[in-house]
C-alpha cells in the first residue's frame, strides 16, 4: 500500500503532452494535452443534513446483473489509503468503485487517493480532481477537464503510470456504515453512498461557479477557461451561464437565482425531456451550490438523488442514476455498453420494438421454446412492478398490460428454469 503524502500529491507541475492518435479509419489526429491547472475553489465539500424520512435506493437490476456475472468491468478504479482507515472502509470503498467500474468506460486506470482526517464538525468529505487539463484536437476547445476525464478522452495516462486522478478526504469523527446492502442504521452515514458521490465529483461532476456575495465568477482566473461542467449550465430562459460577464453582479444573480439547469442532451433525455435542475439557492452555499442536482427535484427516494447537495444518516443510494450518467455522457464519458443499450443477455432474447405503449414484444430463440419463463418488469428504483410466468412459444413472447405503468425507463427481466437470465432496458411511452 502506498504511503504518498497528500501534500506531495498537491504539488502540480504544468506540462504539455503531445501525441498522435490513430483512429480506426486509419487517419491520424494530433492531440495536445496541457496542464495540470489548479483551480483552488473547484472542490466538493459535503455537509451533513438530518432528514426525517431517509430512503434507500438499491443498485439497478442491470448493475446487479453485471456485477454478479462473469463479464469484465468497463473501467478500472484503484484506491490508495494514505492514512489508517476503519475496519470495513476498504470493503465498502471497493464496492462503490465496482459500481462505477460497471457504469463508465475507460481504458486508463482511475487512481484515487484517500485519507481519513480531522475535518470541520459538519463536513463529511472533501474531494477534488488532481488537476485540470485542456485538450487540443479532441474534446471542447478552451475547456478544462478533470484529470480522469482527460485521460479517458485521450486514452492515455497523464503524468505517468499510476498518477493520482482524484483526492478524497473523509471526516474521521463521523459515524459511517460500512455495509453494502443499502440499509444503514438511522444514525449512521452510508459510506458506499458517500464514496459514490465523491467519486462522481472527482470524475468531473464539478463546476467553477462561485460568488463573493456581490460578484459571481465561473472561469478559472489563470487560464480564463471554464470546466466542461460549466458549458452545459443555463438559466430557465435558456441563457448560458457563460454568456454573462465574468466576473459580474449579473453572474452573482444567476448563481443565486434558484433557476439554473443542465442542458445536456443525454441528461435531459433521461429526465423525460426536462432539463435537470441544479441546486442554486438565494444565498450561495460554497459547500453545496451550483454543482449538485437539486434535492427538491430529486428527493432521497428518487433514483437520480445520488448527486444532490445533501447526505444524511440512514439514507442510501447505490445507483448513479440515469440522469447523472446521461450528463456524464454529455461531458465526454463513455458508458458501459450494458448501460447504453440495456443488454444483459444470457438468454437468446431481443426487443422487437422500443419504445412501447401497452405491450412489450420479445423475440426469443429456438432453445427457449416450451420453457416456462419468470418475467418481471422492474422500474429504475429496482422495484418489481409486474410479474408473471409465461410459456415461450412461436419465437415470440408478449407481455401486456403496460398501459397502467407511468411513462419512463424500465427493465424486463426473464429467468429460465435453469437460472439463466436476461435483463433488457426499454422505454414505456
* 198-251 tens-digit pLDDT: 999 999 999 999 999 999 999 999 999 999 999 999 999 999 999 999 999 999
Distances (CA, A) of 403 to 400, 407, 408: 8, 9, 12
Closest CA to 139 of 124, 128, 155: 155
CB neighbourhood size of 87 (10 A): 7
Q: Which of 116, 143, 146 is nearest to 131 (CA)?
A: 146
Tens digits of pLDDT across the chain (429 residues): 222 333 333 333 333 444 333 333 333 346 677 877 777 665 556 555 655 567 889 998 888 888 887 667 899 999 999 999 999 999 999 999 999 999 999 999 999 999 999 988 778 999 999 999 998 877 788 999 999 999 998 888 998 778 899 999 999 999 999 999 999 999 999 999 999 999 999 999 999 999 999 999 999 999 999 999 999 999 999 999 999 999 999 999 999 999 999 999 889 989 989 999 999 999 999 889 999 999 999 998 899 999 999 888 999 999 999 999 999 999 999 898 655 434 455 677 888 887 888 888 888 887 788 888 889 888 755 678 899 888 887 788 889 889 888 877 678 888 888 887 787 877 787
Confidence at residue 339, expressed as pLDDT on a 0 to 100 scale: 52
Q: For the sheet containing 28-37, what is the strand order?
A: 15-22, 28-37, 132-136, 145-146
What is the model's pLDDT at position 338? 53
Cell numbers 435453469 correspond to 418
Q: In this predicted model, what pLDDT tens digit does every residue of 364-387 receive, in sequence order? A: 887 788 888 889 888 755 678 899
Q: What is the pLDDT at residue 366?
A: 79
The pLDDT of residue 53? 64
Q: What is the 3-state secondary structure (H, E, C) of 158-223?
A: CCCCCCCCEEEEEECCCCEECCCCCCCCCCCEEHHHHHHHHHHHHCCCCCCCEECCCCEECCCCCC
Query: Could you tell me the residue ranges of all domains in the chain?
Result: 6-338, 343-428
Q: How far apart are CA 72 and CA 75, in angstroms?
A: 9
Fold of 343-428: Immunoglobulin-like (2.60.40)
Which DSSP symbol is given to 293?
A: B
pTM: 0.76
- Please name the residue ranges forming H helices in 159-301: 191-202, 249-255, 265-270
Amino acid at each position: 500500500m502506498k504511503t504518498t503524502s497528500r501534500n506531495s500529491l498537491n504539488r502540480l507541475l504544468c506540462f504539455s503532452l503531445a501525441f498522435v492518435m490513430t483512429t480506426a479509419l486509419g487517419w491520424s489526429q494530433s492531440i495536445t494535452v496541457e496542464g495540470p491547472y489548479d483551480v483552488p475553489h473547484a472542490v466538493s465539500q459535503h455537509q451533513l443534513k438530518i432528514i426525517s424520512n431517509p430512503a434507500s435506493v438499491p443498485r439497478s437490476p442491470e448493475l446487479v446483473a453485471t456485477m454478479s456475472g462473469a463479464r469484465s468491468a468497463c473501467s478500472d478504479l484503484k484506491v490508495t489509503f494514505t492514512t489508517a482507515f476503519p475496519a470495513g472502509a476498504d470493503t465498502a470503498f471497493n464496492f462503490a468503485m465496482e459500481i462505477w467500474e460497471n457504469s463508465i468506460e475507460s481504458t486508463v486506470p482511475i487512481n484515487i487517493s484517500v485519507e481519513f482526517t480531522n475535518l470541520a464538525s459538519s463536513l463529511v468529505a472533501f474531494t477534488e480532481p488532481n488537476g485540470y487539463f485542456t485538450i487540443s484536437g479532441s474534446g471542447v476547445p478552451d475547456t478544462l477537464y478533470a484529470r480522469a476525464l482527460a485521460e479517458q478522452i485521450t486514452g492515455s495516462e497523464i503524468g505517468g503510470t499510476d498518477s493520482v486522478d482524484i483526492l478524497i478526504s473523509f471526516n474521521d469523527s463521523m459515524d459511517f456504515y460500512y455495509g453494502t446492502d443499502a440499509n444503514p442504521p438511522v444514525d449512521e452515514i452510508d459510506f458506499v453512498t458517500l464514496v459514490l458521490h465523491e467519486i462522481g465529483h472527482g470524475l468531473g461532476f464539478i463546476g467553477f461557479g462561485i460568488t463573493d456575495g456581490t460578484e459571481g465568477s465561473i472561469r478559472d482566473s489563470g487560464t480564463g477557461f471554464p470546466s466542461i461542467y460549466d458549458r452545459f449550465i443555463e438559466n430557465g430562459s435558456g441563457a448560458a451561464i457563460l454568456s454573462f460577464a465574468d466576473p459580474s453582479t449579473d453572474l452573482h444573480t444567476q448563481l443565486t437565482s434558484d433557476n439554473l439547469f443542465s442542458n445536456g442532451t443525454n441528461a435531459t433525455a433521461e429526465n423525460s425531456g426536462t432539463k435537470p435542475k441544479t441546486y442554486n439557492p438565494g444565498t450561495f452555499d460554497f459547500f453545496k451550490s451550483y454543482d449538485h442536482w437539486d434535492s427538491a427535484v430529486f428527493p432521497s427516494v428518487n433514483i437520480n438523488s445520488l448527486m444532490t447537495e445533501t447526505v444524511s444518516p440512514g439514507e442510501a443510494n447505490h445507483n448513479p442514476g440515469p440522469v447523472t450518467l446521461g450528463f456524464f455522457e454529455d461531458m465526454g464519458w463513455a458508458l458501459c455498453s450494458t448501460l447504453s443499450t440495456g443488454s444483459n443477455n444470457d438468454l437468446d432474447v431481443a426487443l422487437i420494438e422500443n419504445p412501447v405503449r401497452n405491450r412489450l414484444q420479445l423475440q426469443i430463440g429456438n432453445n427457449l421454446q416450451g420453457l416456462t419463463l419468470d418475467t418481471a418488469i422492474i422500474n429504475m428504483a429496482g422495484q418489481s412492478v409486474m410479474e408473471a410466468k409465461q410459456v415461450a412459444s412461436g419465437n415470440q413472447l408478449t407481455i401486456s398490460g403496460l398501459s397502467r405503468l407511468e411513462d419512463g425507463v424500465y427493465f424486463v427481466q426473464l429467468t429460465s428454469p435453469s437460472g439463466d437470465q436476461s435483463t433488457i432496458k426499454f422505454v414505456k411511452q
